[in-house]
Amino acid sequence: MAYVFFGYFAGVIALTAVLVVALRNPVYSALSLLVMFFHVAGLYVTLRAEFLFAVQLMVYAGAILIFYLFAVMFLTEKTPDRYHIQSWGSLLIGGAIIVEVVVLIGQHGISFGSSVARTAAPSPSEEGNTESIGQLLYTSYLFPFEVASLILLVAMIGAVVLSKKDLPEVPPS
């Protein structure tokens, strides 16, 4: 069973990695990179790194890739007209997802008040993946963690400085 999951994830990762390089259109490259990020996250689950699975989805697929797509749309000279055509199939898929979300929230809301949810809470004796990572990150790796936050601060300031337009020269009065 483990081989089946690994084979699926590895196959899709390898295929989409090649597609990122091979596709002409940068939008398609970015979208196939998105598929690759999802499957790398799946590979993390098979390696029992559940917290990294969530982080991979949120940071890579959620933040970094949206950033890339924004830059592609912003900087590409001519966008073909077919980007502006909305197909009816997407309405169908979107409607199905909305129905699924409503159903899931409804089920959760029903079972939330029952005693089943309370007994399902993990006992403090068994540490999950997230707890042990947090424990390690704030004890042994505290200094590298602070350095990482400094890197992010420098990157933030650098991005703001680099991408802002030069202010017009103020004429001396």
Partner 1 sequence: MNVPIHYYLILSAFVFLTGLVGVLVRRNIIVILLCVELMLNATNINFVAFSEYLHDLGGQIFVFFTLTVAAAEVGVGLAIVVAIHRSKDTINVEEFNLLKW
Kindly state whether residue 21 participates in binding partner 1, applying the rule CB under 8 A.
yes
Residue 20 binds partner 1, judged by CB under 8 A: yes
> Residue for token digits 């350095």?
147
The encoded tokens of residue 142 equal: 């505290």
Judge whether 20 and 29 are in contact, CB under 8 Å. yes
Helix (H, G, I), strand (E, B) or coil at 71: helix
Residues 6+ away with beta carbon under 8 Å from 76: 26, 27
Residues 38-97 that bind partner 1 (CB under 8 A): 40, 43-44, 46-49, 51-52, 55, 59-60, 63-64, 67-68, 71-72, 74-76
Burial of 16 (0-12, 13-18, 19+ CB in 10 A): buried
CB of 99 vs partner 1, minimal distance in Å: 33
The region that residue 48 occupies, defined by phi over 0 for left and psi between -120 and 50 for alpha, beta otherwise, is left
Tell me whether residue 116 or residue 161 sits nearer to partner 1 (CB atom). 161
* Site residues for partner 1 per CB under 8 A: 1-3, 6, 10, 13-14, 17-18, 20-21, 26, 29-30, 33, 36-37, 40, 43-44, 46-49, 51-52, 55, 59-60, 63-64, 67-68, 71-72, 74-76, 132-133, 136-137, 140-141, 144-145, 148, 151-152, 154-156, 158-160, 162-163, 165
